[in-house]
Structure 1
Amino acid sequence: MADFTDKTVLVTGSSRGIGLAIAKAFDAAGANVILHARSEISPETLAEFKSEPKTLQFDIADPEAAESSLKALYKQESFSGIDILINNAGITKDQLAIAMTPADFAQVVNVNLNGTFNVTQPVFKKMIRQKHGAIINLASVVGLMGNMGQANYSASKAGLVGLTKTLAKEGARRHIRVNAIAPGMIVSDMTGALPEKTQEEILKNIPLSRFGEASEIADVALFLAGNDYITGQTITVDGGLYI
């Protein structure tokens, strides 16, 4: 495991699920972790960390809220900057395309894609001045292969892949690396709520015959954050679903 002592990591959407797993992995690796969520993070969640993480509370879909919260963070006297940004926050609102409302399509794209940009831009500007940094965007395998009932989600995650490649090109001269992780089916409240028959059908299409664990996404985030010669890539972690 890479040593991230004295590195500061911001993980959006880190009150639960994949985001929380990533934040805890960086905490275990010695990093100073900043947690983010739309609502207040519970004391029970904070107690899971070795150190006492900072917390941010704002809606990433609101560009003014994102900018003001990050500006306030950077103005703190003891704050030295963000070394690693993990853009994990996102939503789903599934429906077949013929029944999906324009509002449902726009909301998912606005949170997942625009929201990622809202957080990334102010941090990216600071990283340009720092002349170092790493950004990891949580895309999805459905952004690469599509999925029935997820036109909005697939489009937003495909957009993140394009954003990742562009930022990687723009940031390279200032030693800023930008990559994406595209998870497949990961054990979560959402997958756990699927009917058993549906889970069985999905498993038939996964060569490794199981859903992934959030910790396995966190492992890849640590790897990408610690490798100085990988940028502009999208790493699929999907048990072979997209081959």
Structure 2
Amino acid sequence: MTMANPLSKKLILITGASRGIGLSISRKFAHAGASLILVSRTRPHLDAALSALPPGGEHRCIAGDVGDPQFWEEVRGGCGKKLDVLVNSAGITHSSLLMATKPETIEDIIRTNLVGSVLGCRAVLRGMVRARSGCIINISSVLGIKAGTGSVAYAASKAGVIGLTRSLAAEVGSSGVRVNAILPGYIETDMTSGMAEGARREALEFTPMRRMGTAEEVADAAMFLVLNKFANGSQVVLDGGLSAT
């Protein structure tokens, strides 16, 4: 490992890696010398993400559903070696009042955002605990700690991710495995690009910095959590001050 390549010889798996925050984290880690396994549901999107990484790394991708236990069994069997870092970034969002939200939509949100993160952690833990080293980063949301109208199922799933992070950090910290979470606010991604103009304006009005964050700024936080060896059970809030209001 060198200062120029602090993640050299590290094997990192990133879910939701084909776009948005997951893709930015992938690029950041690839530039730092890591070998990556990119995970997303759609193969063409994964292929595009793989081609967007800097040349020279040993990267590959796996298409699948993170909410499916069998998918994680296949991932665990196909990694070939212990993962050094897992980033649970796969997630879906939805905006509607709870009484107007279909049960299947609620189930899909919880399955992807929360169950997928739990299953991902479970799949990698045995190897990390055996090696007495490893880092897990769960991408939650500021809505896990701050109310948001029209986001009940999403907020519930992301609050669950915070609970997962805190409990697992306590459970495996003595084994040398660190578990942390990032809680983004409004970030310029595909998810927020479709916001109605009124909703976007209101979001900026309630954010003290009066702007949305960037996926690259979230990637910076992920890099900090990988490199800081005392970070365990942390909740890094990146919301421009939104949760402080």
Is 2:186 aligned against 1:185?
yes
TM-score, L = length of structure 2 = 0.93
* Post-superposition offset of 1:196: 2.4
2: CA distance between counterparts of 1:150 and 1:44?
30
Amino acid at match of 2:49: T
Instruction: Choose the corresponding residue for 2:62, options 51, 56, 66.
Output: 56
Conservation of the 8 A alpha-carbon contact between 2:17 and 2:26 = yes
Q: Deviations over 1:174-196 (max 9, x none)?
A: 11110000000000123222222
Instruction: State the Cα distance separating 1:103 from its structure 2 match.
Output: 2.3
Range moving further from structure 2, 214-223 or 40-49? 40-49
Runs of 4+ in structure 1 deviating by more than 6 angstroms, as ranges, are: none
Equivalent AA in structure 2 for residue 39 of structure 1: T
Instruction: Choose from 14, 31, 35 the match for 1:32.
Output: 35
Aligned pairs (5 A) from 1:1-243? 3-40=6-43, 41-50=45-54, 51-74=57-80, 80-243=81-244
Identity %: 38
Deviation of the 1:233 alpha carbon: 1.3
The 3 A distance-change label for structure 1 pair 35 and 42 is closer
The one-letter amino acid paired with 1:175 is G
Q: Kindly state the Cα deviation for residue 72 of structure 1 after the two structures are TM-superposed.
A: 2.1
Q: Aligned partners of 1:229, 1:69: CA distance in 2, in Å?
A: 28
Contact 1:58/1:69 (<8 A) preserved: no
CA distance in 1, matches of 2:23, 2:222: 12
- 1:77 alignment counterpart: none
Residue 27 of structure 1 deviates from its aligned partner by 0.4
**Residue 52 of structure 1, CA deviation:** 4.1
CA–CA distance in structure 2, aligned partners of residues 161 and 173 of structure 1: 19
Deviations 1:46-87 (A, max 9, x none): 22222241111110111112212221223xxxxx32101000
Contact 1:212–1:238 (CA<8 Å) still a contact in 2? yes
Question: What TM-score do the two structures reach when normalised by structure 1?
Answer: 0.93
Deviations 1:180-228 (A, max 9, x none): 0000000012322222232111111000010000000000000001001
Alpha-carbon offset, residue 42 of structure 1:
4.7
How far apart are 1:17 and its partner, in Å? 0.7
Runs of 5+ consecutive residues of structure 1 not aligned to the other structure: 75-79
How many residues matched? Answer: 238
For structure 2, the 5+ residue unaligned runs are: none
Deviations 1:73-123 (A, max 9, x none): 23xxxxx32101000001123220121232222221111111111111010
Output the CA distance in 1 between the equivalents of 2:208 and 2:232: 28
Question: What secondary structure does 2:156 align onto?
Answer: helix
SS in structure 1 at match of 2:42? coil
